[in-house]
Amino acid sequence: EPEVTQTPSHQVTQMGQEVILRCVPISNHLYFYWYRQILGQKVEFLVSFYNNEISEKSEIFDDQFSVERPDGSNFTLKIRSTKLEDSAMYFCASSEASGAFFGQGTRLTVV
Amino acid sequence: SQQGEEDPQALSIQEGENATMNCSYKTSINNLQWYRQNSGRGLVHLILIRSNEREKHSGRLRVTLDTSKKSSSLLITASRAADTASYFCATPSTPFAGGTSYGKLTFGQGTILTVHP
């Protein structure tokens, strides 16, 4: 069964460093998303991406965040100058009319 | 309550029993999705029910949707220890916005289900 894959599964980074989280959405899906879940909190929408551009973004998705689809299969989330409060599980998802399907997540720890 | 709030917050049952979790939401929706999350792991898509459907089954899962009451329920029959997880309902943040109505979602806090062997 097709699935969304994310790499790495864990990432530890120093505060102020840049990180890139990678995702391969389901191949025939057209809509892609990033979400995050801070430990013990709700899953929160960050950004949606369609037709090679951002379609919507939340208040959380400020200038330190960016997304890119560098080729036909990958979808990346870049966080510039990470902060301690960026520590969370980051989920990539892709969707079609049967629903939104999530990857296993990348646990980002900023130290 | 906020969009997509689950009830109860925690549920503890014995293996073989049925587990029922409820979700309430505030605004009109065109679909509602249920997810499972094992501790610290990814979100597993369980089922999507559309606003014109009242009930849907998938294996041991039964989902109902009552749009007049703005509520949904997830029933897991004959539960197993492996069903121990958090269960979330998710509703579209922009229900009638085309493609993103299936992926731009608002999640509830979830129900923590513990199934004892």
> Number of Cβ pairs closer than 8 Å across A and B?
70
Per-residue 3-state assignment (H helix, E strand, C coil) for chain B: CCCCEEECCEEEEECCCCEEEEEECCCCCCEEEEEEECCCCCEEEEEEEECCCCEEEECCEEEEEECCCCEEEEEECCCCHHHCEEEEEEEECCCCCHHHHHCCEEECCCEEEEEEC
Residue B2 has pLDDT above 60, yes or no: no
State the nearest Cα–Cα gap between B46 and chain A, in angstroms.
Answer: 10
Confidence of residue B49 (pLDDT cuts 50, 70, 90): very high
User: What pLDDT is recorded for position B3?
Assistant: 59
Distance from CA of A48 to the nearest CA of B (A): 7
Contact B50, B91 (CB under 8 A): no
Using the Cβ of A82 and the Cβ atoms of chain B, whether some distance falls under 8 Å is answered with no
- Residue A17: name the closest of A61, A69, A83, A72 by CA: A83
Three-state DSSP at A51 gives coil
Confidence at residue B29, expressed as pLDDT on a 0 to 100 scale:
92
Q: How confident is the model at residue B96 (pLDDT cuts 50, 70, 90)?
A: confident
Identity of the residue in B42, B99, B106 whose CB atom sits nearest the CB atom of A91: B42
- Which residues in chain B are closer than 8 Å to A107, comparing Cβ atoms? 40
> B105 and A45 in contact by Cβ < 8 A?
yes
B70-97 average pLDDT score: 93
Task: Report CB contact under 8 Å: A91, B88.
Answer: no
State which residues of chain A have pLDDT below 70: none
Contact B41 A105 (CB under 8 A): yes
The pLDDT of B22-32, averaged and rounded, is: 92
Tell me how far apart the alpha carbons of residues A33 and B11 are, in angstroms, rounded to a whole number: 31
CA angle A40, A88, B110 (to 5 degrees): 30
- Tell me what pLDDT residue A26 has: 95
Which residue type occupies B2? Q
Query: Across the interface, do B107 and A94 touch by the CB < 8 Å criterion?
Result: no
